[in-house]
Amino acid sequence: MGFELSRKRILHLINTLGSGGAERQLVTYLRQEPLRAYEHIVVLLDVKDVDSLTTENFLVPDFKAQGIQVLSLGLTGSENWIKAAKKLRKWQKTNPVDLIHTNLLGPNVVGRLAGYLSGTPVLTTYHNLDYSPEAKFFHFSGSRFKLHVMRYIDGFLAKRFTKKVIAVSQCVADHIVHHLGYPSSQIRLLNYPVDPIHMQVLQQNPRNWVREQIGVGPEAKILIDVCRLAYQKNLPRLLDAFKIVANDHPEAHLVILGSTQNATVYRQVYERMEEYGLADRVHLAGPSHNVADWLAGSDLFVFPSLVEGMPIALAEAMTFGLPCISSNVGPMPELIKDRENGLLIDPSSTQQIADAISELLSNPGLAQQLGNRAKAKAEELFDPYRQSQKLAEVYDEIFAEIDHK
């Protein structure tokens, strides 16, 4: 009579399950067959009640549909890291796990402290250029002192209490080595996976559907940016550029698809819409479960972010063969080669953003050529099965090292 070995239990620690790239890649990974060899538990650091209907719980139903347990530490505010680490350690006493896999700054600190207290190995995925000059504005309220303190804490804990690190782009890997002093030999590079389930088009005619959602006619050309309203997404400057474009292209409409929770950025965008007379040409669509329908029904993807680690939104747009305009910063040149499979722009230049949009609206042949090449590149880089195999190999590498000791 045979028996089945118990599966290794992996705890995934993350702030929320909103609609951001880090959260969506976690959903995608845990859907893949190579990772079903493990038991997965997701713990949220910044959510008090996982069953409440909030934007922070946007993706909770996706995990529950897979039979994956989602828990909350019952806290709000990742700045209370020591209290959160103690609470997680207490939970682990009756719910032991074999590995803690952390994502994003607060969970990285909490997970490493809990791992140290419980003797559990820790793996960290870095998604962003957290210590770039721009980061002090969206992570640390503009304080250079806070940025330096966090960099010291992060580097100290990473080097002492982290078995391995995953970087979502080569740019992020280089950033970790430079700013945290983490050894490159312990970093594994995994591109974001693009989920074919998440990318299923549900509407029979997505082009008409998108135009119905925003109340425009069939002749409208739809520019789309999939992002939350945040400082790093550079949306006020995108509005400045669209004002220039709108005069020469009356058929153009801009859709911003993503969370509108950031009140400061929302106010900046809304005020520009009103000031420029673009309230009927710019559409804040909010977060959506059917991003695929929006992408499939759009004509052009515009992504002028100031800083990114690995933009899942750009990867998804490329997968749909959309002609893409992207910032020439961070990892974007790893995905987009200028005038080969997209256009790269300086995100600080309103005129460059406007010129790129106008060029592709005026030259549909070039737009289609760039979109076709973007799709081919995406198929090469973002295959979810292949990326999940690589993640499983990282898990097995850690467990093998522990067993060898």
- pTM reported for the whole predicted model: 0.83
In this predicted structure, what is the pLDDT of residue 326? 97
As beta bridge partners, residue 153 has: none
Token pair of 49, please? Answer: 């009640």
Residue 29 three-state SS? helix
Contact 110, 80 (CB under 8 A): no
How open is the CA angle 373-378-379, to the nearest 5 degrees?
100
Which residue in the block uniquely carries the two structure tokens 């995406």?
A: 378
Q: Which of 36, 59, 5 is nearest to 392 (CA)?
A: 36
What is the structure's pLDDT at 2? 41
- What residue has token string 């793996």? 123
Instruction: Give the C-alpha separation, 329 to 306, whole Å.
Output: 7
Q: Which helix (H) or strand (E) holds 174?
A: helix 170-180
162-178 core/surface letters (b: 16 or more CB in 10 A; e: else): bbbbbbbbebbbebbee
> What is the CATH code of the structural domain delimited by 9-193+383-404?
3.40.50.2000
CB 358 within 8 A of CB 251: no
pLDDT in tens, 308-359: 888 889 999 999 999 999 999 989 999 999 999 999 999 999 999 999 999 9
Which pLDDT score, from 0 to 100, does residue 78 have? Answer: 56
Cα angle 306-291-211, degrees, rounded to a multiple of 5: 100
DSSP labels for 51-86? TS-SGGGTTHHHHHHTT-EEEE-S---TT-HHHHHH
What is the C-alpha separation between 239 and 243, in angstroms, rounded? Answer: 6
User: What local confidence, expressed as pLDDT, does residue 384 receive?
Assistant: 92
d(CA 48, CA 73): 7
Per-residue pLDDT at 197: 74
| pLDDT lower than 70: segments of the chain | 1-5, 77-79, 135-142, 405
Which phi and psi (to 5°) does residue 188 adopt? Answer: -115, 135
Residue 39's SS3 state is: strand
CATH among 2.60.120.10, 3.40.50.2000, 3.50.50.60, 3.40.50.150 for 206-381: 3.40.50.2000
Q: Is 209 helix (H, G, I), strand (E, B) or coil?
A: helix
CATH 3.40.50.2000: which residues of the chain? 9-193+383-404, 206-381
pLDDT digits (tens, 9 = 90+) for 3-41: 445 789 999 999 999 877 889 899 999 999 999 999 999
Task: Give the type of residue at 153.
Answer: I
Q: Do residues 228 and 258 touch, judged by C-beta distance below 8 A?
A: yes
φ, ψ (nearest 5 deg) of residue 324: -115, 135
